[in-house]
């Protein structure tokens, strides 16, 4: 059985403002760093073999804080688990999107990456982890949309929709190709 602990990065200033971050490289704010310290403390009492992260700064900062607490350096950075490319809406709030493109902005081609594209690249990373680290416990720091899409596609009977809190922990297991979710969006450390 391979175990993957999916962690959404800590909060950023753009998260607090309700702005679409996508691939814009935004750092953690002070609250985000505190959140990362809290999950790092929680995870220091658990058994994990390695930690990987999206290459975006907010995820790397979260993974670094967790790794320092565990005396475990980041094993790998992977662009395939970066956040959804939000195209033209990056850096805008819901209100700004409605003003600029109308209330049906989601139905327009604004250069956003599709759910299928996000799932395919994320799954390539997950499949590789399962193949290369069979039987290991791997922490993976990523992003809300990426984690949510993976859950909806891997376990469609369980997850029709998802919301991921900052620094929440979701634990997936893979036993002989069968996926199970042992813990979802847990934030008891906060």
Confirm or deny that 11 is annotated as ligand binding: yes
Residues 110, 16: Cα–Cα separation, whole Å: 23
Confirm or deny that 175 is annotated as ligand binding: no
82 contacts 144 by C-beta, under 8 angstroms: no
Confirm or deny that 160 is annotated as ligand binding: no
Q: Which of 9, 61, 90, 143 is catalytic?
A: 9
HSE of 107, CA atoms in CB hemisphere, 13 A: 3
Record the tokens describing residue 71, joined without a space. Answer: 């005396």
Confirm or deny that 9 is annotated as ligand binding: yes
The CA-atom distances, in angstroms, between 67 and each of 37, 53, 72 are 10, 11, 5
CB atoms within 10 A of CB 109: 7
Confirm or deny that 15 is annotated as ligand binding: yes
Record the tokens describing residue 177, joined without a space. Answer: 């190709």
Residues 184, 181: Cα–Cα separation, whole Å: 7
Query: Measured in whole angstroms, how far is the alpha carbon of residue 125 from the centre of its chain?
Result: 13
Confirm or deny that 13 is annotated as ligand binding: yes
Confirm or deny that 12 is annotated as ligand binding: yes
Confirm or deny that 58 is annotated as ligand binding: yes
83 is an active site residue? yes
Q: Which of 61, 83, 90, 143 is catalytic?
A: 83
Confirm or deny that 93 is annotated as ligand binding: no
Binding site residue list? 8-15, 58
Kindly list the catalytic residues. Answer: 9, 83
Binding site residue list for substrate? 8-15, 58
């Amino acid at each position: 059985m391979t175990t993957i602990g999916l962690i959404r990065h800590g909060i950023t200033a753009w998260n607090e403002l309700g702005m679409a971050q996508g691939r814009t490289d935004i750092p953690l704010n002070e609250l985000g760093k505190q959140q990362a310290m809290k999950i790092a403390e929680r995870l220091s009492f658990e058994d994990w073999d390695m930690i990987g992260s999206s290459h975006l700064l907010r995820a790397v900062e979260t993974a670094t804080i967790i790794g320092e607490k565990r005396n475990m350096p980041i094993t790998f950075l992977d662009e395939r688990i970066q956040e959804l490319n939000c195209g033209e809406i990056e850096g805008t709030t819901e209100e700004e999107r409605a003003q600029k493109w109308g209330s049906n902005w989601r139905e327009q081609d604004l250069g956003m990456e599709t759910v299928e594209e996000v799932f395919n690249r994320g799954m390539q990373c997950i499949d590789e982890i399962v193949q290369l680290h069979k039987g290991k416990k791997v922490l993976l720091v990523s992003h809300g949309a990426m984690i949510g899409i993976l859950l909806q596609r891997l376990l469609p009977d369980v997850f029709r929709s998802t919301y991921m809190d900052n620094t929440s922990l979701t634990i997936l297991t893979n036993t002989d190709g069968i996926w199970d979710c042992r813990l979802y969006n847990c934030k008891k450390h906060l």
